[in-house]
Structure 1
């Protein structure tokens, strides 16, 4: 039986402005993070979660960090 939705659909050709429009519609406006005193992370054990967490710390958006072990 052939599925109704293809597993590998052929995407339409989009110009850059349309890609940006769709990205804004789906994810909202890009905002610059403000400096904060704490960053709460609800995460799992996947290493990508922790790598993503390092970005605001490295950029100086978080003034202090601590872990539950401290």
Structure 2
């Protein structure tokens, strides 16, 4: 029984260390990206909506 608890404890400890490492790495990357994308001034105007398509109405040939 002690062997199972020992393996479980080591697995939990490993997962905890990996989770903390990913958290710290992600926080570092997020802060670096946040610092590089500074925005000054008002937001830019978006592109206007395109005009609706104009379908040509074909006239039947005169007979």
Q: Same fold (TM over 0.5)?
A: no
Where relative contact order (Cα < 8 A, 6+ residues apart) is larger, the structure is 1
Larger radius of gyration: 2
Structure holding more helix per residue = 2
Q: TM-score, normalised by structure 2?
A: 0.26
Q: TM-score, normalised by structure 1?
A: 0.25
